[in-house]
Structure 1
Amino acid sequence: MTVLTLCQFQDDGLVERHDVDIDTTRYLAISHIWAKAEWRDDIPNIPWKVLASPHKAAFLADEFKQLVGREFFWMDILCVDQAVPDERIRVVRHIPNIYRGAAKTIVIREPGGFAKCCADAMTADGNTWMNGARENFQRHMRTSHYFHPLAEPWFDRLWVLQEAVLSDTIQFTICGHVEHEDFDVEDDLWGYATRFKQLTDHLQATAYSWISYGVDQDGSDQEYNEFVHAFLHNGVVTRKTADVDRHRRRSGIAEIDVHLNSMRQTTKARDFILAIFPQFGWYVPPENVRTMAFGQLWLDLCRQASQAGYAFLAHVTRGMVSDSPSADASRLATDNVPTPQVLGDFVSMLGSPAGQQTFHWGLKVSDVTIDERRPAEVSDLLRIIRESMNFNQKSWFFASRGSLNLYGSYPRTVPSPTLLSHVSSDRPVSTWTRDEDGGELDEEKEAVKALNAMWLGLFEENAAMGGDWNYYSQWLSMRCSTSYADRLLRLAALISCGFGMSAYEWSTTVFIPVIVTVKSCTILGLLSRGYYEAQAALTEVEDNSEAQAPTDTNQEDDDLVVIMQELTTEDGAQGNEAEMEASFFCAQRGMDYIGQDMVLVEPGTNKIIGILPDFVDHVRSPEEFADRYLELCEYPQTRLLVDVFARMDTIFLE
């Protein structure tokens, strides 16, 4: 028995609350985003204060009753006192069962998104979603909405995704209407163009999550058509359960991997855990969840997953962020993790499933050489970033489709090509402190745009973007400031190693971006700042034991870089190549994930001291895996290659 408060319209048109057993009562569930909500007591059919936006309030007053009739219904802003935080937290554990058990979930979209013309354009010629409809939509956007950007707020929030995924029958509707505002496309032409892809990507990802929830299949073209048609035309779609127990107890780790590029957000970072994991049966929110920092809640999630037999590798381990007494301790999860801002950033924190035990630690791939210095020439830096992009295209593809696109792809630090002739040739990037409208520029955001432009221009087969990037890269090679280049290096290393943009500030306290040479391959990695500084201090003591200068207790981090440059060179002379040796390990648990979750370990102790890009990704063929493995591995294992080929051949034969 699960007794919760539901609402119902009475004969007099007023809404009343009732405590009912949702296990035996038919009811509807309402899914919506709060938008710009405020307390109001002017909704005529609701005799208590409600936290709602103006659009939502008008919808509740004028249209809502027609949708729900006399049915019992669940709607958070009506059934739970939003003024009492404990009440909101208490109901979290019931959310999965509320939406699973509903006869139907009504999804209320906000105005300003897809319009009727968009829906008609997608399906005008009878094309299916997988065969032409996406292209129809983008063509329609270019011709009909060029100066009127669309926004679909329902794609921006996390809770509503989970509510929809849990629901077997969904009815879509829209509350209110807004006029689209004009947009100055010239401000960011390519950034604007990426919004076409973002909207369709989000729609497809949502459809995929709903169709494939709890089953090991991607869904048919017909299922995608039905979901997309219902979403665009405010219709109803019912999932084909076909005797499949979609709501069985299971890990869930692999399922949420499809949201690696999702930009859905929450009000509090803890909701990335609270909104997702209660649905899988093994996770129970801690009683003191409101007082826990995100890192503590993350560590508790790792513990519960391990106890339930669904352990996963933590993307960030103790050895990466602090000194560890042993190799085993360095592999454990830590509460010193970045606070995610979007769902994709949270998903990137989850490593490969590891079963009930910790991962196998016996596959040593290669010894590597580490250089912590940024190349003096920007052209060399851009070359290394390009090589790292090519090494791990999966991370960059999802980043470009996700958090990178939050910032756009047209760096404002460089004027548009038509304005370059008006800029002094000796004006470095460091002097570009304001944009054309007089507002302050954010150097970090501009570096993100530059990397997005680089990826789109070099790897997305976009000829026009490639031309822009070529011009922009030449300009940077001549005029890039030191601080801007440092940001490019750190951001590129973060993305290559699978982190999201929200990890940037946190990374400055725990990681040093490094250039890693694996035989003939050059990639970007992240080295533990604590390990780096300890090695720098140790080297300083050893090399200056006879005549050591007084220690400056206020020494800045940049000085430590100089110490490393001076004291770790082969011949002791400043300016030669600074190198450190470390081993390149593959953390593996089963053939499905081999080559992922790559780390740097300290020679001799095998303690984790850093992180590297994935060795391979899941889309590589056995031949591609073997080629890379043999190219980079100094300790090849023939049995490993045989196992990989046997496993992959089995998958392909199926």
Structure 2
Amino acid sequence: MSEHSGTPQDDLGPEAKFARFVGVNLELFRAHTSQLEYIAVSHVFGKTEWCQIPGIQGEVLASSQKAAFIENELPSLVGDQPFWMDILTVNQRNQAEVISVVDIIPQIFRDALKTLAIREDDGIYTCCRTALGKLDWQNLSQAWQDHTEQHRDDLRDESYLQRLWTFQECLFSREIQFVVCRRGEYIYPPYSSSTDELRPLESHSNGDGGVAERFYKNRVDVQRIMESLWVLWHCFWSSSDLGPTIDEFSHAYIHCKTITRPRPRRRTESEDIHTGLFRMATLTSHRVASKPRDYIFAIMPQFPWYNYPSSAKDMTFSQIFLDLYDQAANTGHQFTPRITASMIESITVEVNDALLPSEHQPEPECLGDFLKLLGQRLSVDPPAGSSYIHVTTNVLVTEITDVSRNNFLEIIRSSMEYSEDLWRFSHRGGELSTFGNFPQISWELDVMDAATLGWVPDAGSSFGDALLMTEEKSQTTIMTGPRLIFREGPIGEDHDLTRIEEDRSMEHVTILQQSRKILDHMWCASDRMTKDPAQESDFKIFVSTPRFKWPKPLLQTMLLLAAMVNCQIGLSAARWVHKRFVPVLIAYGKDTKVLGLLARHARPSKLGEIKEMYSAGHHPQGKSIGKDLVLIDPVVSAGPLGIVPDFLYVDQTSRQFETRMKTLYGGLIKIIGPGKVAIPYISPEVLTSQRQNNPKD
């Protein structure tokens, strides 16, 4: 039963299966959440297998570490109190039962006396807790970085902060007791970096980065965990009238203490994902779930207007996303989709249909990926007879033909400066820095790897000494040298675009991994907020070293990823985006050029040809003005054909706001107050005559 079902049993809460220890045995029973005093258990699954645990009937799907915790630690933590723990109270072999409980998880954790949050022992080790002591938040990050120099080669995942469901469960809890599921003996001694208690770090390193690579990777890992901890605190604190401070929350998390707050209130019909700062705080969250659909099902059921689709288990992510869009639109919570139908479909569609989400959405691999697919809330109705989008000004769109290293780096540097808040969030959230930020100098482009992105050697290029052949396990790999020339070729089907860039078990660094490393290294060297002279110097050395080559596929991939950061599309979708979009420069007058994305089916017939299009927006007023911008061309389609970076960013001054608005609207705006403008509303419908008078060739 859904907590939003509206039945007379709502006051009792939904019915769920609970457990309790009777002696050494576990018994199960059913009860309504509001009629029982119980503990809810929050944890991550880890590497699971079916196992037998003494005192529990049947097999349990758990990691060996979690099974030992359940046998040795859990009984003393819960006593004879009833509790809910998914791997013990939900039949994990029955997918229908697993899916059905998703809708009531918010109420299970909201009604619980407290939440027992079981952290894994894979990031903040006991020696870290001892070294950090009771430092305040301001000094915590630097102290931890200094301490982890003692074991910089050890794993720092802190997987409890990496998983989506644990995030949701904490948000609905009023009291959280943090505990650690330790490996080996259940004792609490300081760990020594010389023992095997610490988990070794898996790395792509081929050794050429040396100490510098390990140092930067260590720093990035600490920053990522600290950012995740801050986001968890912020969302926990902001969803209640009174909550713990960041110092209180971080101390409780690190030292396994308990924190409390008033019971979080239920969401109202007027609230959605854009209410408060939740979306902004989690936009680059790297929390992951087992299935793409979970990013919707873990977040949306908290809102009373959203209902779990009855046929969800048979629906694809794109179908569930479209269902979310329809439910939001039908209840006054309509939002702008990042990827519209007209961007993906080359056929001409009516403007209102063209503005709908495409039936083909990239499957998210983390929470931030999903949230980026949702633009801002549509809060202003358009004039009668008009669409939701309005023209801002005409722009000139070009693909980049000068493939020199310096030109590409300058374009990327300029895009970082123009959208610096997006780049900063991407780095801090762990998206840009997933593979560290020290690229390999000895890296060579693998031809087979390049082919997965549609780059093939030109038939006329000289192979000769440019090819390096290596054979291993009866497999030949062709590595490119300085004389090999690449051209665009066919891009594989979606099911062939295996996300090998996310496979940490691979020995060779892929083109997507190396591109992210270079971009993150470049960003850290240029971030005005951190001002790191050491990283700035290291990046200059990296760029100038003659040992490193810059093949065209690498430069083009870097440009694609840079455009994706600007346009707020998760970097995990790089192969999906590359198949459907190309990075372009969008010129607003003579002085402003931004890096965006253009649908492949809307490319000019000749490479390098300047294409005149219109910049358009969804929000003619309000706090979202200058966001969710798109490219349109009435000659080609009634709907958006490309994505333009936001013109507004965090902490803009009134002067900066006015300057960018004048650029965006071609000077056709009126300043009506500090940070406030009046703009003309030009609907694309007035341009449809151009489609009739200038039919597409």
Task: Tell me which residue corresponds to 1:539.
Answer: none
Task: Tell me which residue corresponds to 1:495.
Answer: 565
Task: Tell me which residue corresponds to 1:166.
Answer: 172
Deviations 1:95-142 (A, max 9, x none): 110000001010011112213443344344xx532x323333233223
Query: 204-213 or 317-326: which moved more?
Result: 317-326
Deviation at 1:579, TM superposition (A): 0.4
Q: TM-score of the superposition, structure 1-length normalised?
A: 0.83
Task: Tell me which residue corresponds to 2:96.
Answer: 86
Greater per-residue helix proportion: 1
Provide the rounded CA distance (Å) in 2 between the counterparts of 1:413 and 1:438. Answer: 18
Provide the rounded CA distance (Å) in 2 between the counterparts of 1:80 and 1:623. Answer: 57
CA distance 1:170–1:516, shift in 2 (3 Å): same
Task: Tell me which residue corresponds to 2:47.
Answer: 36
Task: Tell me which residue corresponds to 1:598.
Answer: 629
Deviation at 1:412, TM superposition (A): 1.9
Task: Tell me which residue corresponds to 1:330.
Answer: 354
Q: Quick check: 2:443–2:548 contact (8 Å CA) kept in 1?
A: no
Question: Secondary structure at 1:400's aligned position in 2?
Answer: helix
Deviations 1:377-416 (A, max 9, x none): 2211111111111111122112112211112111125469
Task: Tell me which residue corresponds to 1:107.
Answer: 117
Task: Tell me which residue corresponds to 1:625.
Answer: 657
CA distance 1:378–1:321, shift in 2 (3 Å): same
Q: Quick check: 2:380–2:619 contact (8 Å CA) kept in 1?
A: no
Provide the rounded CA distance (Å) in 2 between the counterparts of 1:619 and 1:414. Answer: 40
Please point out which of 236, 240, 245 is paired with 2:258.
Answer: 236
Provide the rounded CA distance (Å) in 2 between the counterparts of 1:293 and 1:619. Answer: 38
CA distance 1:287–1:413, shift in 2 (3 Å): farther
Provide the rounded CA distance (Å) in 2 between the counterparts of 1:464 and 1:430. Answer: 31
Deviation at 1:356, TM superposition (A): 8.3
Instruction: State the AA in 2 paired with 1:455.
Output: W
Provide the rounded CA distance (Å) in 1 between the counterparts of 2:559 and 2:219. Answer: 26
Query: 442-451 or 595-604: which moved more?
Result: 595-604
Please point out which of 253, 277, 292 is paired with 2:274.
Answer: 253
Matched ranges for 1:254-269 at <5 A: 254=275, 255-269=278-292
Deviation at 1:630, TM superposition (A): 2.7
Task: Tell me which residue corresponds to 1:344.
Answer: 368
Provide the rounded CA distance (Å) in 2 between the counterparts of 1:181 and 1:102. Answer: 34
Matched, 1:151 2:120: no
Task: Tell me which residue corresponds to 1:451.
Answer: 519
CA distance 1:640–1:345, shift in 2 (3 Å): farther
Provide the rounded CA distance (Å) in 2 between the counterparts of 1:636 and 1:134. Answer: 47
Please point out which of 15, 21, 39 is paired with 1:3.
Answer: 15
Provide the rounded CA distance (Å) in 1 between the counterparts of 2:418 and 2:295. Answer: 30
Matched ranges for 1:95-244 at <5 A: 95-124=105-134, 127-129=135-137, 131-142=138-149, 144-177=150-183, 179-181=197-199, 186=211, 187-213=213-239, 223-240=245-262
Deviations 1:576-630 (A, max 9, x none): x520011112221642111111111115676311001111113212221012223
Instruction: State the AA in 2 paired with 1:253.
Output: H
Deviation at 1:333, TM superposition (A): 1.6
Task: Tell me which residue corresponds to 1:404.
Answer: 432
Query: 253-262 or 284-293: which moved more?
Result: 253-262
Matched, 1:294 2:317: yes
Deviations 1:438-492 (A, max 9, x none): 9433112111111111111112422111112112223489831121122112111
Instruction: State the AA in 2 paired with 1:375.
Output: D
Deviation at 1:149, TM superposition (A): 4.0
Question: Secondary structure at 2:265's aligned position in 1?
Answer: coil
CA distance 1:405–1:498, shift in 2 (3 Å): same
Aligned length, in residue pairs: 583
Q: Quick check: 1:373–1:578 contact (8 Å CA) kept in 2?
A: no
Provide the rounded CA distance (Å) in 1 between the counterparts of 2:352 and 2:673. Answer: 27
What residue ranges of structure 2 are gaps of 5+ in the alignment? 1-8, 185-196, 202-206, 445-464, 469-478, 485-504, 679-697
Deviations 1:128-166 (A, max 9, x none): 32x323333233223x33343433111111001000111
Q: Quick check: 1:28–1:104 contact (8 Å CA) kept in 2?
A: yes
Question: Secondary structure at 1:133's aligned position in 2?
Answer: helix
Please point out which of 614, 617, 620 is paired with 1:583.
Answer: 614
Task: Tell me which residue corresponds to 1:472.
Answer: 542
- Superposed CA RMSD in Å reads 2.8
Q: Quick check: 2:26–2:56 contact (8 Å CA) kept in 1?
A: yes
Deviation at 1:373, TM superposition (A): 3.3
Please point out which of 287, 297, 306 is paired with 1:283.
Answer: 306
Question: Secondary structure at 1:199's aligned position in 2?
Answer: helix
CA distance 1:639–1:3, shift in 2 (3 Å): same
Q: Quick check: 2:153–2:214 contact (8 Å CA) kept in 1?
A: no
Provide the rounded CA distance (Å) in 2 between the counterparts of 1:325 and 1:22. Answer: 49
Query: 90-99 or 278-287: which moved more?
Result: 278-287
Instruction: State the AA in 2 paired with 1:344.
Output: G
Provide the rounded CA distance (Å) in 1 between the counterparts of 2:649 and 2:358. Answer: 25
Task: Tell me which residue corresponds to 1:637.
Answer: 669
Query: 32-41 or 581-590: which moved more?
Result: 581-590
Q: Quick check: 1:430–1:484 contact (8 Å CA) kept in 2?
A: no
Q: TM-score of the superposition, structure 2-length normalised?
A: 0.78
CA distance 1:339–1:33, shift in 2 (3 Å): same
Instruction: State the AA in 2 paired with 1:266.
Output: A
Task: Tell me which residue corresponds to 1:430.
Answer: 480
CA distance 1:353–1:640, shift in 2 (3 Å): farther
Provide the rounded CA distance (Å) in 2 between the counterparts of 1:319 and 1:193. Answer: 42
Q: Quick check: 2:567–2:645 contact (8 Å CA) kept in 1?
A: yes
Q: Quick check: 1:262–1:344 contact (8 Å CA) kept in 2?
A: yes
Provide the rounded CA distance (Å) in 2 between the counterparts of 1:274 and 1:67. Answer: 29
What residue ranges of structure 1 are gaps of 5+ in the alignment? 417-424, 537-563, 566-576, 647-654
Provide the rounded CA distance (Å) in 1 between the counterparts of 2:49 and 2:389. Answer: 57
Deviation at 1:256, TM superposition (A): 3.1
Identity across aligned pairs (percent)? Answer: 28
Instruction: State the AA in 2 paired with 1:62.
Output: N
Matched, 1:508 2:578: yes
